[in-house]
Amino acid sequence: MSRSDIVEEINDLDQKISRTRKMIQEKQLKLERLTEKRGKLSHKLESMPLTAEGLLERFSEKMAVAKDAGQSSQTPSSPEDLVAKPKVLDQGLQKIESALKLSNPYVVPEAHKCYVIFSGPNAGVYREWSTVQPLVSGKPYAYQGYKTYELARKAFYDYCVKHNTPIQSVPRLITPAEILQPKISKVPTFADKAKMPACPVIPRTLSRFQKVRVQNPDDHEFIPIETFDHYYTLAESTCSDEQNHFFISETKGFRLYNVTIGAEPKFVQTLYYCGLLNAAYPSSNLKEISLLPPKVVTAVKHYRQKVLQSPERRVYLSFKSSLLDWEETEDETDSLRNYPAYHYIKMGLLRKQIDVLPCTETKNLTPNLHKALPELRAQSLGHVLKKIRSSLYTDSKVRINYQSDHVLMATDSLQIISPEDCKRIEQFEKQFYCNDLAISVATKRKFCSYASEDHKCDFCPEDDKMETCSSNSGEHSEDSCQPGKRRQADDM
């Protein structure tokens, strides 16, 4: 190796070391936040009072631990257990016994104290003072406590005889569970049902279909911001990788991936969702793009079968995509929801040569990538809009193969674009014109300066809104559907 080769390799290693240190620092910061959050939750859990079920669960866990350690449940393993374990066991057993006794309210132990409310709507014998206190506090009702249920019942009889009140054969023994249970409503009779208003019949077939949730074809599994950061930084620090079958090209200041035959489908899928894919040159079996959205893969198969009339011919896919977005939180590294990227895909027959020029030099890493993402994302959205406006006209010979809220897929055609496809383009482009995109608020604010001059949104200055409304008042809002008329395109 020459001296220049060694110096270049050392520089590459220094860049990789700096990038790795940056990732480690971010991971450490996130680990500290998660550890602090876990400590707060653990402290909150320890401060909460335990119920009978909690005590029983703790007792079962300690028994299982003692059994795995080969120790007897009666032998404490530490000085703390000498004090804590007997208390926990006694409390658990007492709670279990009390729960069993509550299941039969009329079985009262001899030594259990009972309370009698002699008058009022809640007259009867109660077993718990916590139940009696809210019923008699501040109210003119006579009550008294007795050692046993028999003494309480005899006192209730004597009170009824002395005050000439109807004697109950057995005074009611009320438990706390009966106080908490709601009263059973009266069962309506036939006459009551006749007085009720008529209830319309709900079609069962419609209610059955309403329960079926329609999945959005653009939704995908969550991609953390660390994954996006890794692939974005990798594109800046490398030019090609024959082992992973990709090379890097630069377009409008963005370094994007171009995948060839042999690329891993999961790798291609991640790049597509991140908005970092520039072109794909799959093999004849389409294995490389097999994990892209199913309707995109289906459109590729239909194009080969119906247009090229050869299911084995190779095609290419050219992408103009926006960068992936995340739902805004206090710390964007804690975000758990993605806003899918927007894609304009051009598909065609692959010739023998690839017309994309790979990068020959690396690029300096973007400083403070997380803070610069809203600006970069707005730029990529502006590039998607300009690409559509500069390549699709009302007299263009193209065909729209697939369209959704986030994807517009087109191919060249021998005929002029149909009115139906023109409306599909309008529906996709309308989101950009009104800034009604599924993106974060920070990106919407930045995109206002990269959108077309005639757009209108809530983030435009008031003066610009008035000028836009006055200039558009005499124009047709759907000029792109007029046949033979070319739309004015912005410069790429």
Question: What residue segments make up the domains of the chain, in order of their start?
Answer: 1-36, 114-174, 225-472
Q: What is the pLDDT of residues 24-39, one digit of tens each?
A: 888 888 888 888 888 8
Strands 407-412 and 343-349, by their bridges, are: parallel
In this predicted structure, what is the pLDDT of residue 134? 87
Residue 407's SS3 state is: strand
Q: What is the pLDDT of residues 172-189, one digit of tens each?
A: 666 555 555 545 566 777
Q: Whole-angstrom Cα distance, residue 67 to residue 201?
A: 60
Q: What is the pLDDT of residues 157-168, one digit of tens each?
A: 888 778 777 665
Residue 492 has pLDDT above 50, yes or no: no
Greater pLDDT, 394 or 83: 394
Percent of the chain residues topping a pLDDT of 90: 31
Residue 49 has pLDDT above 90, yes or no: no
In this predicted structure, what is the pLDDT of residue 186? 65
Strand positions, DSSP E, 354-393: none
In this predicted structure, what is the pLDDT of residue 489? 37
Question: Which residue in 333, 329, 282 sits closest to 303, CA to CA?
Answer: 282
Look-up: residue for tokens 């490389």?
288
The residues near 107 (Cβ < 8 Å, ≥ 6 apart) are: 101
Greater pLDDT, 453 or 488: 453
Q: What is the separation of C-alpha 164 from the centre of its chain, rounded to a whole number of angstroms? A: 69
In this predicted structure, what is the pLDDT of residue 127? 83
User: Band of the pLDDT at 293, cuts 50, 70, 90?
Assistant: very high
Q: Whole-angstrom Cα distance, residue 33 to residue 334?
A: 10
Strand positions, DSSP E, 236-308: 240-241, 246-251, 254-259, 277-280
Q: Tell me phi and psi for residue 4, to 5 degrees.
A: -65, -35
The tokens describing 60, both together, are 């079962």
Residue 416 has pLDDT above 70, yes or no: yes
Q: Whole-angstrom Cα distance, residue 124 to residue 153?
A: 9
Residue 106 has pLDDT above 80, yes or no: no
Q: What is the pLDDT of residues 222-265, one digit of tens each?
A: 898 889 999 999 999 999 999 999 999 998 889 999 999 999 99
User: Band of the pLDDT at 469, cuts 50, 70, 90?
Assistant: very low
The tokens describing 488, both together, are 């004015």
In this predicted structure, what is the pLDDT of residue 79? 44
Average pLDDT, rounded, for the chain: 78
Element (H, E) at 369: helix 369-391
In this predicted structure, what is the pLDDT of residue 75? 45
The residues near 277 (Cβ < 8 Å, ≥ 6 apart) are: 256, 257, 259, 268, 271, 319, 321
In this predicted structure, what is the pLDDT of residue 210? 52
